[in-house]
């Protein structure tokens, strides 16, 4: 009975897509068939396809382009990688009735990559859940130009927007290049980028790995952080949730211009001009961030170790033979933290080498790592062990690190001694 009532409500709300004849003599399954047909007609009826903005439960925002046809085939582009943004991937889809009318991407496509349990593929956590995304979605609402869907398993949000004539097959490659452009912020000397807009100032971090943007500032003497996911567009980024601080409202940024010489960036939010300058000191400190990170119980990943003076992978961790990644576990054993470097050994098996040390938090918002107690596991050889030592030595810098939360289970550690040195964990 509940399903019949729910489908009845859906039929009433679908008028924006297609006029449904609610004749009393039609059976519920006939009406449901009409609902599914109306949705399919809408999907295939967009001559330029649909731009899709996906926000997985595991964090981040990703941009796709879909072209659906009447033969239940869909061509997909994705901004996950450069190759995916230019190489279409054809797969199948179907519409069927679950608890709600649903769209299923039922053969492997770029959407499935985000949900892949292998962290090396999805970029997700080591728990084997990928980024907790979906490839089966329920229709939630619809208008002629926008369809909102919700993942059936992980409750990911997927928004489909009707593509315009000028948003061709190269749209996603342009979106991918937008992410590369704003990623130049990470090549500036210092970690801190000070955003000026509408007469106000904010420290801003754009996490191009997780597709999040954060604003940090003092509000009446209280540290304030706003973080939201973003999706890339051809000329900018679209924030999942708008940032609002009084008269300053930012729903998107576009028209980025980077000046490598001056380490500055200009952009436009709506019709308001904004700019960033690269700074050696933070505008505001999150005093509680070290505690949140340490007590999270999460196994944090770092792809490249430290960025130093704008150089990613500055200590060449990817040169460790068979390198797979870095995993940080707070209070791993007997109160010691473990910084594990994973690699494939000469026998083709996964091995790890993990320096162990202690952590403490200070009242002025610093995370201090100290008390190196040696390493456990199997050394990756003399050259590899030297790289591990370099990372560990930097991490155990006596003055410690300021910690900034950049998304779900995502934190950046910025050297107190020298803000040119920082490391990203997620």
Interior/surface letters 40-58, b for 16+ CB within 10 angstroms, e for the rest: bebbbebebbbbbbbbbbb
For residue 16, pLDDT over 50 is answered with no
- CA dist., res. 39 & res. 286, Å (int): 46
Rounded CA gap, 234 and 384, in Å?
Answer: 40
36-79 pLDDT, tens digit per residue, is 999 999 999 999 999 999 999 888 899 999 999 999 999 999 99
Burial, 12: exposed, middle or buried (Cβ in 10 Å; 0-12, 13-18, 19+)?
A: exposed
pTM: 0.86
**Which pLDDT score is estimated for 205?**
97
- Residue 396's nearest CA partner among 363, 425, 373, 419 is 373
Phi, psi for 409 (deg, rounded to 5): 55, 35
Q: Backbone phi, then psi, for 401, in 5-degree steps?
A: -140, 140
In degrees, rounded to 5, the angle at the alpha carbon of residue 271 between the alpha carbons of residues 266 and 276 is 20
Check residue 25 and give its pLDDT. 59
Of 42-46, 117-121, 282-286, 303-307, the least confident: 117-121
pLDDT of residue 179: 92
What's the whole-number mean pLDDT along residues 257-285?
97
Q: CA angle, corner 149, sides to 146 and 152, nearest 5? A: 170
The stretch 326-353 carries a mean pLDDT of: 96
* H or E stretch covering 225: strand 222-232
| Mean pLDDT value across residues 300-308 | 95
Tell me how far CA of residue 334 lies from CA of 326, 329, 379, in angstroms: 21, 12, 22
Judge whether residue 14 has pLDDT over 50: no
pLDDT at residue number 24? 54
Please tell me which residue, 420 or 33, carries the higher pLDDT value: 420
The Cα–Cα gap between 357 and 334 comes to 10
- What gap in Å lies between CA 122 and CA 108, rounded to an integer? 14
In Å, how far from its chain's centre is CA 1? 40
Percent helix, percent strand, percent coil in the chain, to nearest 5: 20, 45, 35
In sign, the C-alpha dihedral spanning 129, 135, 139, 141 is positive
**What is the reported pLDDT for 118?**
62
- Confidence (pLDDT) at 31: 76
Average pLDDT score, the chain:
90
Tell me, what's the pLDDT at 7?
A: 35
Interatomic CA distance for residues 220 and 202, integer angstroms: 14
Residue entry with tokens 């050696």 = 280
Statement: residue 115 has pLDDT above 80:
no
Percent of the chain with pLDDT over 90: 82
Rounded to an integer, the average pLDDT of 105-128 is: 70
- Six-digit token string for 379: 């050394």
The first and second tokens of residue 326, run together, are 């870095």
User: Strand locations in 260-315, DSSP E?
Assistant: 264-269, 272-279, 300-302, 306-308
Q: Identify the pLDDT of residue 2.
A: 33
- Find the length of the chain: 426
| Neighbour-count burial of 169, counting CB atoms closer than 10 A to its CB (0-12 exposed, 13-18 middle, 19+ buried) | middle
The mean pLDDT value for 256-275 works out to 96
Q: Is the pLDDT of residue 126 over 90?
A: no
Greatest Cα-to-Cα distance within the chain, rounded to the nearest angstrom: 79
Q: What's the rounded Cα separation, in Å, for the pair 259 and 264? A: 5
User: Which band of pLDDT confidence, cut at 50, 70 and 90, is reported for residue 12?
Assistant: very low
Give the pLDDT of residue 128: 46
Higher-scoring residue by pLDDT: 14, 419: 419
pLDDT tens per residue across span 378-389 = 999 999 999 999
According to the model, what pLDDT value does residue 57 have?
87
HSE (CB half, 13 Å, CA atoms) of 389? Answer: 9
User: What's the pLDDT at 419?
Assistant: 98
Band the pLDDT of 22: cuts 50, 70, 90.
low
Domains and CATH numbers, the chain: 2-169 (2.40.128), 185-279 (2.40.128), 289-425 (2.40.128)
pLDDT category of residue 127 using cuts at 50, 70 and 90:
very low
d(CA 77, CA 81): 10
Q: Which residue has the tokens 């940090």?
A: 216
Alpha-carbon span 248 to 200, nearest angstrom: 8
DSSP category for residue 174? H
Determine the Cα angle at 91 with ends 87 and 97, to 5°: 140
Q: Does position 8 have pLDDT exceeding 70, yes or no?
A: no
Average pLDDT over residues 165-170: 94
Inform me whether the pLDDT recorded for 210 exceeds 80: yes
């Amino acid at each position: 009975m509940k399903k019949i009532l729910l489908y009845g409500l859906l039929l009433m709300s679908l008028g924006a897509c297609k006029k449904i004849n609610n004749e009393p003599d039609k059976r519920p399954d006939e009406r449901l068939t009409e609902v599914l047909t109306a949705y399919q007609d809408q999907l295939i009826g967009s001559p330029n396809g649909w731009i899709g903005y996906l926000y997985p439960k595991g964090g981040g925002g990703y941009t796709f382009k879909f072209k659906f046809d009447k033969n239940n085939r869909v061509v997909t582009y994705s901004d996950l990688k450069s190759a995916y943004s230019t190489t279409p991937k054809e797969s199948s889809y179907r519409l069927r009735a679950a608890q709600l009318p649903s769209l299923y991407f039922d053969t492997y496509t770029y959407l499935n990559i985000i949900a892949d349990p292998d962290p090396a593929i999805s970029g997700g956590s080591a728990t084997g859940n990928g980024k907790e995304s979906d490839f089966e979605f329920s229709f939630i609402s619809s208008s002629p130009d926008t369809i909102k869907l919700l993942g059936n398993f992980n409750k990911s949000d997927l928004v489909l927007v009707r593509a315009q004539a000028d948003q061709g097959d190269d749209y996603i490659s342009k979106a991918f290049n937008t992410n590369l452009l704003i990623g130049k912020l990470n090549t500036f000397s210092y970690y801190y980028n000070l955003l000026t807009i509408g007469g106000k100032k904010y420290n801003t971090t754009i996490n191009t790995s997780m597709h999040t943007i954060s604003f940090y500032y003092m509000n009446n003497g209280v540290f304030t952080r706003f973080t939201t996911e973003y999706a890339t567009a051809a000329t900018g980024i679209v924030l999942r949730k708008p940032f609002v601080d009084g008269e300053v409202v930012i729903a998107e940024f576009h028209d980025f211009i980077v000046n490598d010489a001056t380490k500055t960036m200009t952009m436009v939010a709506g019709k308001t001009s904004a700019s960033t300058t690269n700074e050696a000191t933070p505008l505001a400190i999150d005093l509680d961030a070290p505690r949140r990170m340490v007590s999270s119980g999460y196994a944090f990943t770092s792809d490249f170790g430290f960025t130093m003076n704008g150089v990613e992978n500055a200590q060449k961790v990817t040169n460790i033979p068979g390198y797979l990644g870095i995993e940080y576990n707070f209070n791993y054993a007997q109160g010691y933290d473990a910084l594990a470097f994973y690699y494939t050994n000469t026998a083709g098996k996964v091995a790890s080498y993990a320096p162990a040390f202690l952590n403490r938090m200070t009242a002025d918002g610093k995370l201090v790592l100290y008390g190196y107690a040696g390493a456990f596991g199997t050394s990756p050889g003399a050259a590899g062990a030297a790289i591990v030592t370099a990372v560990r030595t930097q991490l155990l810098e006596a003055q410690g690190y300021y910690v900034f939360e950049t998304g779900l289970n995502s934190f950046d550690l910025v050297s107190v001694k020298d803000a040119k040195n920082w490391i990203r964990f997620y």
